[in-house]
A = this chain, B = another copy of it.
């Protein structure tokens, strides 16, 4: 954020390495359950070296979260008020599911933070996230009022999209365990199921 941009390539490389390792650890054990030694080991660096690049454990976590919130909201930002309502919402579901597939660690990091009461991210939730949600909920409400899609609760519609898509990242081990060993990749079936679900919900 406010840091000067005087980064050598070594700095860039090591900061990236550290953040990646920290994402591994934090997303699995949460903030308090993770240790600097764990992160250092995962990054292949010594603990004092970590603290050469970041001032503290908390700073690493904060950096991860603030990077996360931006990319996390991107799929929703792309919901186009001028697009075809049904297609827009279904495409949003698809983008969000794709994020769960490609960035499960980020999803779990977020889930961990919310589970703990969002102590380090509440500002962004009540700020950026709420504003964007309000805006898009209004768009959806407009579509409903215009009879373009079936009426339902726009906020809970968005909640349900978040919940259903993130579930396949956050509860991945449960999904795979229940589907069994020869279940294969659960995502294609998930995508088809979610498309059916929301198609029927939105059909006028």
Report A's interface with B, CB cutoff 8 A: 27-34, 108, 111-112, 114-118, 122, 125-126, 129-130, 133, 150, 152-153, 155-157, 159-160, 162-164, 167, 170-171, 173-175, 177-180, 189-190, 192-194, 196-197, 200-201, 203
8 A–B contact pairs at CB < 8 A?
Answer: A29-B116, A30-B32, A114-B171, A125-B174, A129-B178, A153-B192, A156-B189, A163-B167
B residues within 8 A CB of A125? 173-174, 177-178
Q: Across the interface, do B108 and A180 meet the contact criterion of CB distance under 8 Å?
A: no
| Contact between chains at A180 and B33 (CB < 8 Å) | no
Quick one: copies of this chain in the complex?
2
| Cα distance, A24 to B29, chains bound together (Å) | 17
**Chain B residues whose CB sits within 8 angstroms of the CB of A32 once the complex forms:** 29-30, 32-34
| A29→B34 CA distance, assembly (Å) | 11
